[in-house]
């Protein structure tokens, strides 16, 4: 319902409507010199926004709309981990867009705020952030809450990520494992990664009940969610569930560690005061250690590549390395370590020719 009244020398329109929660409210705007001007403005509002509640929704902050949107469309349709990612986006929206109404977010404004986010995030992260917001705003556009898509033709940038060395060579690997303190939680995790090739989440998922002291093996049967703190999770795939044989030295280090860090059989071995170190924390410990030893920087995941590279260069078959890493197929191993395999093939060719020559 629309009504008009004259306030002094200007006209005002008043539209009665129900808000998104069903409560009756009024939308007023004044300052029109003629009544016909007020009527035209009111009719434009009603024609552009079929439901006045949707017009009012255009005045709510992006963060409020996005929160309603993820609870309505995402909470029951995505995994808990994925929903947490949407919640992280919501927190960034609150910081970057503040209380800016949806209707005030133009393409220029959106690009400016996206650039702010990109100042300290990698392009891949910025792209994910942009895609989630864009999905919500396209729904807002379909519902006529906004009249234009502010995310159209947005340019995604980000901070270039410095790529450390992918893996240590054999000598560097030896130097690292011989200078680690197996009694320290972070350094024992680094040690295990270097001598087993286990993924970080797999190492965090190890409990004393997973260790078979008689057989000298570690049973990889679960992981620990260090990103979203949801506890134990399944392994990456079925092939990731495996028993890893340990050498006598590594088994001794692990035995001493367990004795000095008593935990219940089913509790994660490597929590620090009940806290699982996030990847940035363990990577910083590793970086500091490598720097102290005068070794090139690799990431914690790079220790997995190091382990595989060392085994391949030492003549272990690709199939055995694939099983030890828990790859879903040998093709994954071959594609990941193609450069090493080609080098080894070249050496094998020389050996073959030498054998035939001396036959």
42 and 70 assigned to the same domain:
no
Phi-psi region for residue 216, left (φ > 0), alpha (ψ -120 to 50) or beta? Answer: left
Same domain, 212 and 313: yes
Q: How confident is the model at residue 359 (pLDDT cuts 50, 70, 90)?
A: low
Are 48 and 67 part of one and the same domain? Answer: no
Catalogue the E-assigned strands of the chain: 2-7, 10-18, 24-32, 211-212, 217-220, 223-225, 231-233, 242-245
pLDDT tens column, 117-131: 999 999 999 999 999
Packed helices 62-73 and 123-142: angle between N→C axes, nearest 10 degrees:
80
Residues 218 and 321 in one domain: yes
Q: What is the pLDDT of residue 351?
A: 79
Range of the domain at 31: 2-52
| Cα–Cα distance for residue pair 150/137, rounded to 1 Å | 8
Q: Are 292 and 342 found together in one domain?
A: yes
Does residue 244 belong to any structural domain of this protein? yes
> What pLDDT score does 53 carry?
62
**What's 330's domain CATH number?**
1.10.443.10
| 20 and 102 belong to one structural domain | no
Is 150 inside any structural domain? no
Is residue 357 in some structural domain? no
- Is the pLDDT at 262 greater than 80, yes or no? no
Closest to 4 (Cα-Cα) out of 34, 49, 32, 35: 35
Q: Do 11 and 4 contact (CB within 8 A), yes or no?
A: yes
Q: Are residues 190 and 270 in the same domain?
A: yes
Mean of pLDDT values over 150-169:
87
- Read off the tokens for 94: 């609150």
**Which pLDDT score is estimated for 58?**
75
Q: Is the CB of residue 129 less than 8 Å from the CB of residue 89? A: yes
If one counts the domains in the chain, the total is: 3
Give bridge partners of residue 232 from the DSSP assignment: 224
Do 203 and 256 belong to one domain?
yes
Mean pLDDT of the chain: 89
What pTM was estimated for this model as a whole? Answer: 0.62
Residue that terminates a domain, selected from 26, 52, 78 = 52
**pLDDT in the model for residue 20:** 57
User: Which pLDDT value is given to residue 27?
Assistant: 79
pLDDT digits (tens, 9 = 90+) for 200-219: 999 999 999 999 999 999 99
Question: Residues with Cβ < 8 Å from 118, sequence gap 6 or more?
Answer: 126, 156, 157, 158, 159
Report the helix count and the strand count for the chain, using DSSP H and E: 15, 8
Say what the pLDDT of residue 26 is.
Answer: 80
Residues 324 and 177 reside in one and the same domain: yes
Q: Within a domain: residue 148?
A: no
Domain contains 153: no
Specify the range with the lowest mean pLDDT, choosing from 77-81, 127-131, 224-228: 77-81
Looking at per-residue pLDDT, the higher value among 21 and 307 belongs to 307
- CA dihedral 117→122→124→126, nearest 10 degrees, is 0
Is pLDDT of 310 > 80? yes
Do 200 and 343 sit in the same domain of this protein?
yes
The answer to whether residue 277 is domain-embedded is yes
Same domain, 109 and 19: no
Q: How confident is the model at residue 295 (pLDDT cuts 50, 70, 90)?
A: very high
Degrees to nearest 5, angle at CA 140 with 139 and 142: 60
Q: Would 158 be classed as within a structural domain?
A: no
| Residue 191 structure tokens | 């040690």
Q: Within this chain, do residues 246 and 311 fall inside the same structural domain, yes or no?
A: yes
What does the block give as tokens for 187?
């350094």
Classify residue 254: in a domain, yes or no. yes
pLDDT value at 221 more than 80: yes
């Amino acid at each position: 319902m629309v009504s008009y009244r004259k306030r002094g020398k200007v006209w005002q329109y008043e539209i009665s409507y129900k808000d998104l929660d069903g409560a009756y409210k009024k939308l007023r705007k004044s300052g029109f010199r003629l009544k016909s001007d007020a009527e035209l403005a009111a009719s434009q509002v009603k024609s552009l926004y079929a439901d006045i509640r949707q017009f009012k929704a255009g005045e709510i902050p992006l963060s409020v709309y996005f929160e309603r949107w993820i609870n309505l469309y995402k909470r029951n349709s995505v995994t808990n981990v994925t929903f947490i990612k949407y919640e992280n986006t919501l927190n960034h929206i609150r910081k970057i867009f503040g209380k800016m109404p949806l209707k005030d977010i133009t393409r220029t404004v959106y690009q400016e705020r996206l650039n702010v986010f990109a100042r300290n995030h990698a392009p891949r992260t910025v792209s994910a952030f942009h895609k989630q917001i864009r999905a919500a705003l396209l729904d807002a556009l379909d519902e006529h809450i906004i009249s234009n898509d502010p995310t159209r033709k947005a340019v995604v940038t980000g901070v270039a990520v410095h790529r450390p060395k992918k893996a240590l060579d054999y000598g560097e690997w030896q130097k690292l494992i011989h200078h680690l303190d197996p009694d320290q939680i972070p350094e024992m995790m680094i040690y295990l990664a270097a001598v087993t090739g286990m993924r970080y989440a797999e190492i965090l998922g190890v409990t004393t009940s997973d260790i078979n002291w008689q057989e000298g093996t570690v049973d990889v049967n679960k992981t620990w969610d260090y990103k979203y703190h949801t506890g134990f999770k399944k392994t990456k795939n079925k092939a990731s569930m495996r028993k890893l044989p340990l050498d006598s030295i590594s088994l001794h280090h692990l035995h001493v560690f367990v004795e000095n860090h008593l935990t219940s059989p089913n509790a994660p071995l490597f929590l620090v005061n009940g806290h699982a170190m996030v990847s940035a924390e363990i990577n910083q410990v590793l970086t500091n250690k490598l720097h102290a030893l005068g070794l090139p920087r690799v990431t914690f995941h790079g220790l997995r590549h190091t382990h595989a590279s060392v085994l391949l260069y030492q003549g272990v078959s690709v199939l055995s390395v694939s099983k030890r890493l828990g790859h879903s197929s040998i093709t994954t191993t071959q594609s990941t370590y193609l450069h090493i395999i080609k080098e080894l093939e070249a050496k094998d060719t020389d050996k073959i020719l030498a054998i035939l020559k001396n036959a």
